[in-house]
Structure 1
Amino acid sequence: MPRPRPSTIWFSPERPRKPRLSRERIARAAVALLDVEGVAGLSMRRLAARLDAGTMSLYEYVAGKEDVFDLAADEAVAEIDLDIPDGMPWREALTRQLVQSRDVMRRHPWLPTLMATRPMLGPHALARSEVFHSLLVEAGLEGPRLTAAVGTLTYYVQGYAAMESTWRSRMRDSAAEAELRRRAREHLDRQRESHPTLARHTRLDDADFDGSFMLGLEIVLDGIEAGLGT
């Protein structure tokens, strides 16, 4: 199991450099490259080429790819709108934030992986976390329950978005997907005697990712709300 990194680029403030490059420019280029190549396809050489710069010049701004991943993840998180209309109830505001988070992760399928493998301490990530925590504190959570609620909601969205992106990347043909679901349904029906609950209740024909996501989020929020004041 890989050991966590003892450091992150956010522990080192950016020093004044020549105006040609900056962390911001590197972050934007890294997001664009990751959208095309994915995490495995990002290299310092490819990133430098996208920036029309020498590979070694990047090392004046970052120590290596892990720093680039930190920058890219924070740049993508910046796409989540943190403005909340005055008077919006905490649950509605949280739902709004989490729906946007899923949308961002679908636009950038590499993001859930990076979020799960590094501390999210960049300025945009911290601003999002501040809003997120504030809404749950407003609802009445604190201490271990607050931490658990934040984690549960975060991991639900990350996991759902990662699963959805993986499925969509492999199942691009709607007719092929429908045929696979039909055959899976028939297979499960043949197992009805040994797996009666699955055969009766599993909805293998349901390809509504949006509806499933919203229903699952509602169930999680119901659980959080039911525990308020206990």
Structure 2
Amino acid sequence: MARPRKPLLSRDRIVETAGALVDAEGLAALSTRRLAAELGVSGPSLYNHFRTKDEILDAIADAVSTKIDLSMFAETDGRDWRTALHDWAVSYRAALADHPHIVPVLAQGPGRRPAGLRVADAVFGAMVRAGWPPAQATSIGALMRYFVTGSALGSFARGFVDDETAYDPADYPHLGQAHLLAEHRQKVDERAFETGLRALLDGLRMQYETLARPAETESPAADAASGPDSSVSAEA
């Protein structure tokens, strides 16, 4: 039997081709018709592997999530929670920076995506093991996703044109060097990310230190006022 001229269609091949298309031209470029043409197959062939375009986008996003390093959250790793969060955030941003057009899909959360769920599970589990209450561990995971995906959605430095005449000192007295930002985009954006990340982690460390302090002793009057039916509200 003669070998097919093109590789047989598979989920991996569809995701790889669709991901390359999104990377090159953005989300708007992806359609089942365009993707089928890129693969050299008929449109209905795609539906043997994916029911909708959204499922393909989910698969692309999950493929990006597999590139995020989670080793720092292993119980045997030895890094403290703050260092682990820092190193993970750097890896997380690097994965997104390589595929910026898929970031809006990732920013919606993991949904049912396996790799995305493994990321969420690893972060939450590591924070709880470190002593964070579950509710705050959830908030930390959400906070980190907001920060990292937000930083990957756009470039601050790229928002300025490289034409110095665009920033007249009479109108913008403090933007005399703004036209140089685009030229140094990567350095400016990475430094901004690191500055924000360290500030965020320093704030979390201050909160964490309050968890380690022993609770103040209740006064006898307060003890007397608390009957057996008194209740304590739990943080959701």
- Alignment check: 8 A CA contact 1:31 1:76 kept: no
Aligned counterpart, 1:40: 28
Question: Who wins on radius of gyration, i.e. which is larger?
Answer: 2
5 Å-filtered alignment, 1:66-85, equals: 66-84=54-72
Q: How far is 1:186 from its partner?
A: 5.5
Gaps of at least 5 residues in structure 1 are 1-18, 190-198
Runs of 4+ in 1 over 4 A off after TM superposition: 203-207
- Which AA in structure 2 matches 1:78? T
5 Å-filtered alignment, 1:215-230, equals: 215-228=195-208, 229-230=210-211
Alpha-carbon distance between aligned partners in 2 of 1:112 and 1:59, rounded to the nearest angstrom: 25
3-state SS of 2:162 partner: helix
5 Å-filtered alignment, 1:66-215, equals: 66-84=54-72, 86-117=77-108, 119-164=110-155, 168=158, 176-177=161-162, 179=164, 183=167, 187-189=171-173, 208-215=188-195
Alpha-carbon distance between aligned partners in 1 of 2:56 and 2:63, rounded to the nearest angstrom: 10
- Which AA in structure 2 matches 1:42? L
Q: How far is 1:185 from its partner?
A: 6.3
Identity in percent: 32
Alpha-carbon distance between aligned partners in 2 of 1:125 and 1:80, rounded to the nearest angstrom: 9
Alpha-carbon distance between aligned partners in 2 of 1:47 and 1:226, rounded to the nearest angstrom: 50
Q: How far is 1:81 from its partner?
A: 2.3
Q: How far is 1:120 from its partner?
A: 3.7
Gaps of at least 5 residues in structure 2 are 1-6, 212-236
Does 1 or 2 have the higher relative contact order (CA < 8 Å, sep 6+)?
1
Alpha-carbon distance between aligned partners in 2 of 1:215 and 1:131, rounded to the nearest angstrom: 24
Deviations 1:98-141 (A, max 9, x none): 11111111111112201123544322112222222223223322
Deviations 1:66-105 (A, max 9, x none): 1111101001111122223821222222111111111111
TM-score, normalised by the number of residues in structure 1: 0.73
The structure-2 alpha-carbon separation of the partners of 1:177 and 1:144, relative to structure 1 and needing over 3 Å to count, comes to farther
- Alignment check: 8 A CA contact 1:98 1:157 kept: yes
The structure-2 alpha-carbon separation of the partners of 1:94 and 1:186, relative to structure 1 and needing over 3 Å to count, comes to farther
- Which AA in structure 2 matches 1:183? Y
The structure-2 alpha-carbon separation of the partners of 1:153 and 1:184, relative to structure 1 and needing over 3 Å to count, comes to farther
Deviations 1:33-54 (A, max 9, x none): 1101211110111212222221
- Alignment check: 8 A CA contact 1:74 1:120 kept: no
- Which AA in structure 1 matches 2:198? E
